[in-house]
Amino acid sequence: MKVELLYFEGCPNWTVADERLAQALTTLRRDDITVERRQVETTTQAEEFGFTGSPTIRVDGRDPFATGEQHVGLACRVYSTPKGLSGSPTVEQLVEVLS
């Protein structure tokens, strides 16, 4: 399984997503998976990577949280969670998509 975390430095939510990904992988006892972090620095890179906001999480090249409403660009992304909108998926949501 390949897990990627795409982000841009101006968005603080990517570090929360990074921590939650680590927690989810620990919960699943998947120490064999390394999260590849990819910093997106320009709008050209955003278009090239199909970057729909920071943080974007991909599992085997697919965005499991895509709704089709996101736009490509350097912006912070919002996720729908059981407790409302958040800058990152919950640990439980990540466990679900990584299972």
Digit-coded pLDDT (tens) for 17-49: 999 999 999 999 998 999 999 999 999 999 999
8 A C-beta contact, residue 29 and residue 53: no
Q: What is the pLDDT of residue 69?
A: 80
Axis-axis angle for helices 13-27, 91-98 (nearest 10): 60
Walk me through the domains of the chain, giving residue ranges and CATH numbers. 3-98 (3.40.30)
Q: Mean pLDDT over all residues of the chain?
A: 95
8 A C-beta contact, residue 8 and residue 40: yes
Residue type, 60: D
